[in-house]
Amino acid sequence: MYQFAPDPDQPKPQLYESLARAAAAIVDGEPDPVANMANMAALVWQFVPRLNWAGFYRAIDDELVLGPFIGKPACIRIPFGSGVCGTAAALGTSQRVADVHAFPGHIACDAESRSELVVPVVRDGKVLAVIDLDSPEPARFDEEDAYGIERLALVAATAI
């Protein structure tokens, strides 16, 4: 059993430091990428408040394919360049969207989602996956959230 006790009231830098440490501990010594993505998605859900979806899409050929996640069932395949996730994968940069309805080509998987943060997982210059967080709250994600999930992506890059 893994026991982590995130304090959602702590400042974001500390919260994401704890998340990165928990992720590094949970993937340590485990070579299976699906198991590691599943546990990291569960950790995001446990540590990061006010989300309605959190998980991975994996880069396979020229599209993203749904990976381990917490939330409602989601669209399975997203071409590179489409939606928020496909844009993050194609550009290799984080996408922080305050209002998903204003993002051209946004792919609605859960009608409750209002804002979104997508961070690519990159190893040796290649996008392996993206980490996608959705929130029912408009403008839920700030720069500290993006930086925090980018730290998690560094851990993920060694574990998937």
The residues that touch ligand SME, with contacts defined as CB under 6 A, are 53, 74-75, 78, 83-86, 106-107, 109, 113, 116, 132, 134
> Minimum distance from CB of 65 to ligand SME (Å)?
12
Which lies closer to ligand SME via its Cβ, residue 116 or residue 150?
A: 116
What's the Cα-to-Cα distance from 1 to each of 4, 39, 83, 95, 107, rounded to whole Å? Answer: 10, 12, 37, 34, 36
The residue (of 42 and 84) whose beta carbon lies closer to ligand SME is 84
What is the smallest separation between the CB atom of 20 and ligand SME, expressed in angstroms? Answer: 22
If phi over 0 gives left and psi between -120 and 50 gives alpha, with beta otherwise, what is residue 139? left
Instruction: Using CB atoms within 10 Å of the CB of residue 12, give its burial: 0 to 12 exposed, 13 to 18 middle, 19+ buried.
Output: middle
Q: Which residue is nearest to ligand SME (CB)?
A: 83
Q: State the minimum distance, in angstroms, from the CB of residue 142 to ligand SME.
A: 19
In whole angstroms, how close is the CB of 7 to ligand SME at the nearest point? 27
How far is it, in rounded angstroms, from Cα 29 to Cα 17?
Answer: 20
Which residues on neighbouring strands pair with residue 131, listed in sequence order? 56, 119
Q: Are 58 and 85 in contact (CB under 8 A)?
A: no
Q: Using the minimum distance from each CB to ligand SME, give the nearer residue, 18 or 71.
A: 71
Nearer to ligand SME, 47 or 53 (CB): 53
Stated as kind and residue range, the H or E segment containing 25 is helix 12-27
Please state the closest distance from residue 23 (CB atom) to ligand SME, in A.
20
